[in-house]
Amino acid sequence: MARVDVEDVVKSYDTADAVTITGRPLRPPALNHVTLSIEDGETVCVVGPSGCGKSTLLKVVAGLETPDSGRVLYDGEDVTGVRPQERGVGMVFQDYALYPSMRGKSNLAYYFQVHRRSDEEAKRRTREVAEIMGVGFDSLLGRIPTSLSGGEQQRVAIGRCIVRDPSLFLMDEPISNLDAKLRESTRVEIKKLLRRFGITTLYVTHDQQEAVFMGDRIAVMRDGRIVQVGTFDELYYDPANLYVARFIGSPPMTILPARVEARRVTVEGQGWDLPDDVADMLPSGEVRVGVRPEGWALDSADGVRIPLRHVERIPTERASFLYGELAGASVAIAAPLDYPETESVQATPDWGRACYFSAEGEDTLRAPGALELF
Amino acid sequence: MLFPRVGRQQWRVRAAWWGVVAILCIGILLHLFPFYFMIISSLKSSFEVLAFPPTWWPEHPTLAAWRLVYSLVRGNNAAAAALLDGPLGLYFKNSLFIAGFTLFLGVPITSFAAYANSKLQRGAIARWSFIFFIGTMMMPDALTLIPNFLLTRNWPFPLPTPPMIPGTSTPFPTVRIWDTAWAVILPGVFSGFNFLLFKGFFDTIPDSVIQAARVDGGSEFNIFRRIVLPMSVPVYAVAVWGMFSSAWDQFLWPLIVLQTPSKVPMSVEIYTLIQKFEQVGTTNAQQAFAQSQQMQQLMEAGLSWNGLMVLGLLQSLPVFVAFLVCREYLLRGIRIRGLK
């Protein structure tokens, strides 16, 4: 069990494609003063678009990359200079990274061989892992990785990761190479494993839904910086800036250009009175208003008319999404499943539950905060 | 498949396909013709082999040349042995020694260098060391001949005489490997071409596999031995074979640095034999008579071009055997080289 702290880490890449021939870096640092702490037994998901440095963060925590500055601590102990071989972490890679010339069994046994443990221990642990991993895992162990499908390879890779009882799990987009159906079931399986072991986990993904499903907390990264860390509710209802607000939530938040004047808000010539608590916090002038799909009141008397592009019905959620356009912005509105097909819809944003951002820049002016459901 | 099967419906594509086949056939024939001529020459009699125009098929096939070489190897032909500086087996052993040690040292050194450059070095250092190693390939052999020669005399100085230690009259201590097999072995240990071959292959191994092994706790050497090496057998086969055939067939360099007749490899000995054969001569009439009689005997026994062709075939045999042994891996390796 371990608590992990990443303190003010800066990392620039010096690989062949990232430097000029004289060694001058071509890109901004992959990690730019990143600070993150993972509590003992907690799962933190790092999420962000590709190239934002999330895999680099994972490699720095694993010790595969050495930070240019800053520290990495395990249980308060500085391990920045410790080689990955001595850190005792378990890592799962996006491309599974099984040893191609070894059978599944030897893939699992490699750890015990290099640590000069007995064959019996390796066998016993492999059996235990096979029990944990469930049906069919045994049959994978006798085959060489190239003869396994993506999902099977991933199961072996996860098995290889847990066979050593790691104190820290690091997962680098472990399921993003699987097809949609398999992704779903593997996601559940990994979640079960994490629950069962209660091991500190850093989980990197580009898929925010996966992050929501896996993580106790989510860290949103962008251009080598962590923008916001928090639970899903915090990110969803209290985004630190426009970027997080846009990134979290599916379908995404609708961002409307609006004008605030004299405690009234105007969108495309139509005006509404703002609730008092909102009006108090907003300066007059141009703003951007973020409205979640569920933040619209449909068929309201004072609503604005929104022409619809199409309607997506999702029976499992007993809802449909209406997609349209308003003031040049894409709009997604949650509606009941049996909402009739129409050309346009009259809807009013719930101004009290909307997010307000400055027109220039991305600062949050006001966010609604988490719902108090209970 | 050079052209897709469906495309061959078109007569132009079909014609082009046959054109390519024809060119490849010409290429094969051009490569096989010297072998063919070597084999039939070895079966000709000494007089037929000198006939002009040459015959394309031995008119009186004879094994005289093979028998002569056999007796040479056994060491029971005094006349022919007089032309040689030692038993033929000795030169074969010399060749084996040189080729063997070139492989023994060269394959690990070249592949380790390539692996380090591909997977361990990063950034500008990796770039520059790569350019340096590849740069050794750009140097024409003729350019390095004389410096290399001087280096074997006074290592590490490429000078005819070692320089004096400043302020004294004693020269710097030097190592002289000239006229030993090591003078042939050491310059052949690093091969820029094989470095490129290895590096090209190691670059295709995903970093994540090596990183996974690091997380598993494997030391860098253990990772190389347990994970990288088993994946790289084909590329090793290509490199071993290439290195062996070039070490076995090299001629100019051993001719220059090996002066003691008993130290030269097979390739050089065959050449000296040709030389002696052509330049037999003497200033004394009696000697000349004895010698011409000896030559007459040898000619009849088969020591003419036909005998040399036998030696040449024996000389190229190990390379051929080496090819057969690792043919499967070589083909796979060439595919790797061609596609990646």
Domain coordinates in residue numbering, chain B: 1-33, 72-339
Residue-wise pLDDT tens digits, B103-115: 999 999 999 999 9
Which member of A89, A101, A170 has the closest CB to residue B231? A101
CB contact under 8 A, A62 and B215: yes
For B217, which of A14, A15, A111 is closest by C-beta distance? A111
Rounded Cα–Cα distance for residues A253 and A251 (Å): 7
Name the CATH topology of A4-242.
Answer: Rossmann fold (3.40.50)
Q: Using the beta-carbon criterion (under 8 Å), do B127 and A91 form an inter-chain contact?
A: no
Confidence of residue B31 (pLDDT cuts 50, 70, 90): very high
Q: What is the Cβ-side half-sphere exposure of residue A360, based on CA atoms within 13 angstroms?
A: 1
Contact call for B218 and A97, based on CB within 8 A? no
Task: Give per-residue pLDDT as tens, A58-84.
Answer: 999 999 988 989 999 999 889 998 999
Residue B19 has pLDDT above 50, yes or no: yes
| Closest approach of A229 to chain B, Cα-based (Å) | 27
Helix, strand counts (H, E) of chain B:
17, 0
Cβ separation A23–B231 shorter than 8 A: no
Give me the mean pLDDT over the A328-335 stretch: 88
Could you say which residues from 310 to 339 on chain A have a Cβ atom under 8 Å away from some Cβ of chain B? none
Suggest the residue from B129, B130, B215, B229 to mutate for an interface test with chain A (most A CBs closer than 10 A).
B215
Percent of chain A with pLDDT over 70: 96
Kindly state the percentage of chain B with pLDDT values over 70: 86
Q: Please state the φ and ψ torsions of residue A314, each to the nearest 5 degrees.
A: -120, 95
Count of CB atoms situated within 10 Å of the CB of B36: 11
pLDDT category of residue B300 using cuts at 50, 70 and 90: low
Q: What band does B335 get if pLDDT is binned at 50, 70 and 90?
A: low
Tally helices (H) and strands (E) across chain A: 10, 21
pLDDT over 90, % of chain B: 24
The architecture in CATH of the region B72-339 reads Orthogonal Bundle (1.10)
Q: For A197-209, how does the pLDDT look when each residue is reduced to its tens digit (9 = 90+)?
A: 888 999 999 888 8
Give yes or no for a contact between B266 and B250, defined as CB atoms under 8 angstroms apart.
no
State how far the alpha carbon of A91 is from the alpha carbons of A55, A62, A269, in Å.
12, 8, 55
| Per-residue pLDDT reduced to its tens digit, A155-182 | 899 889 888 888 898 999 888 888 888 8
Per-residue confidence (pLDDT) for residue B283, from 0 to 100: 59
Closest residue on chain A to B230 (Cα): A101
Tokens of B145: 């001949």
* A83/B123 CB distance under 8 A: no
pLDDT of residue B340: 36
* pLDDT at residue A45 in the model: 93
Angle at B331 between CA B327 and CA B333, to 5 degrees: 115
pLDDT of residue B249: 87
Domain spans of chain A, in order of start: 4-242, 254-366
Residues B86-102: what's their mean pLDDT? 89
- What is the number of other CB atoms lying within 10 angstroms of the CB of residue A204? 27
B339 pLDDT band (50/70/90 cuts)?
very low
pLDDT tens digits, residue range B33-83?
A: 988 988 888 888 877 877 778 888 888 888 878 887 777 777 666 666 666
Q: What is the pLDDT of residues B129-149, one digit of tens each?
A: 999 999 888 888 888 888 889
Q: What is the ipTM of this complex?
A: 0.84
pLDDT digits (tens, 9 = 90+) for A50-59: 888 888 999 9
Question: How many pairs of residues across A and B have Cβ atoms under 8 Å apart?
Answer: 84
